[in-house]
Amino acid sequence: MEMTHMQGYLACMNESLLQFIWHHQYFNLWDLRTVNDEALGIVDAGIWNRDQGPDFLTGRIRVNGEEWAGNIELHVKTSEWDLHGHSTDPNYKNVILHVVWEHDRDSGPAIPVLELRSRVPHHLLQRYRNWMLHHSLIPCSGELGKLKTSLVYPWLDWLWLQRVREKSARMLEAVQKQGMDWEEAFWISVARAFGHKVNADAFEAIASTLPVKLMMRHRHDPVQIEALLFGQAGLLRADKEDEYCKLLCREYGFLRKKYKLRKCYQPVHFLRMRPGNFPTIRLAQLARLINCNSDMFSRITRMTTIEEMEAFFRVQAGEYWDHHYRFGEPSVFAVKQAGEHFIENIIFNTVVPFLCAYHDHVGNGHLIPGLVGTIQKLKPERDSITGCFEKFGLKARHAADSQALHELKKTYCDKLNCLHCAIGQTLLKNSLSKERIPV
């Protein structure tokens, strides 16, 4: 190997890559010898330790025919043993092998040292180095389309299930925060979803000041429900030359005193969004959802199809909003009904994780696979991230894949975490076929 290449590989070499290579034994195992020319055999590479202490636990090796059992430590350079303070750390007393990329000097206790620099396939190193230096949104973009979808889609399924589990765990925490009141927690979560990205925190704060039982008490009066929501959002002004706004102001003033409502200090925002997503429109739609439904969460738990869920959220803002996007500013007639994409986003990111948390908590775990399967009936999202993956050969089949691709991008691609990505692992493994490793 040319020195310039060796220097380049050393620059991209790190302990994570070295651990990955050792764990999968992606190096030449033929006639292994330590730096002191001792015959070495790997009986068991050990268990990869992701916590504090040696990198691999309970490994077994043979040195000059004698079998040793203990832990294995890895470093880019031998001198890092002392640099990391292992000589005085009792956790490293049982290390039987020090695996390094480059043996730069004798250091540490009298334990065998194995240098891997000349034993790792060039193609594997070159591929990983290219990824680390890549400036694309997806490091392996040039090779992604070469993989069989039968290898990639199971990884996307796993990523999505992990995403659902994480969201379900957060949903359960929200329920616990509400004293295991599922209806209250669901109401707050749905309100947050109606706020979308920009106003999610504000809508959650508003709903937190308006208990669901209070909202249900007034659900048959659309004016009072809007008054409560818009009033707590700080969007009502009595000086506006708008009769409907003045009506809501009067209703809100009465209800605020009656129920001693605490003030919501989280402001809503109108900037950088289309009029259809204005907080006024979303609050009006949320008000109509309350008007049309009692015991919202109980109703949701009885639904068995995606069509039922979609119909539940297909609400239309009141008549005033047919001619307005903001109070006192008339606009061209347009019915303000919740759109298909908006509804699917709520079902996917709020309803399904919430129901998974509920069924798991009450012992109906057998219902979760069917619930998860409903998501695969939703169309995939079209945005910059899914479009980028599709450009390089990985197309989302349904909404679950879209979310999985977002997770893949955020958790793996953006962090150059290729060594823990099933796609990255497969591509690195495939690179070995270009350069055979004697075993």
> What tens-digit pLDDT sequence spans the chain (439 residues)?
444 555 555 567 899 999 999 999 999 999 999 999 999 999 999 999 988 899 999 999 999 999 999 999 999 999 999 999 998 899 999 999 999 999 988 755 689 999 999 999 888 888 888 888 877 789 998 888 888 888 899 999 999 988 888 999 999 999 999 999 999 999 999 999 999 889 999 999 999 999 999 999 999 999 999 999 999 999 998 777 899 999 999 999 999 999 999 999 899 999 888 999 999 999 999 999 999 988 899 999 998 788 899 999 999 999 999 999 999 999 999 999 999 989 998 998 899 999 999 999 998 877 777 777 777 778 888 889 999 999 999 999 998 999 899 999 999 999 999 999 999 999 988 877 655 444 3
Q: Which of 299, 320, 338 is a domain's end point?
A: 338
User: Are residues 187 and 162 both part of a single domain?
Assistant: no
User: Are residues 235 and 324 both part of a single domain?
Assistant: yes
Domain of 27? Answer: 3-120
Q: What is the pLDDT of residue 221?
A: 96
Distance CA 177, CA 182 (A): 10
User: Is position 129 within any domain?
Assistant: no
Distance CA 303, CA 298 (A): 9
User: Are residues 370 and 315 both part of a single domain?
Assistant: no
Q: Using N-to-C axis directions, what is the helix angle for 368-375 and 306-313, rounded to 10°?
A: 70
User: Is position 281 within any domain?
Assistant: yes
Assigned token pair, 248:
């809501």
Distance CA 209, CA 385 (A): 36
In what helix (H) or strand (E) does residue 425 lie, and over which residues does it extend?
helix 422-431
How many domains does the chain contain in total? 3
Assigned token pair, 50:
């992701």
User: Are residues 192 and 164 both part of a single domain?
Assistant: no
Global confidence as pTM: 0.77
User: Is position 127 within any domain?
Assistant: no
Distance CA 45, CA 48 (A): 9
Q: What is the pLDDT of residue 188?
A: 97
Given 3-state DSSP classes, what are the helix, strand and coil percentages for the chain, each rounded to the nearest 5? 55, 10, 35
User: Is position 128 within any domain?
Assistant: no
Q: What is the pLDDT of residue 3?
A: 44
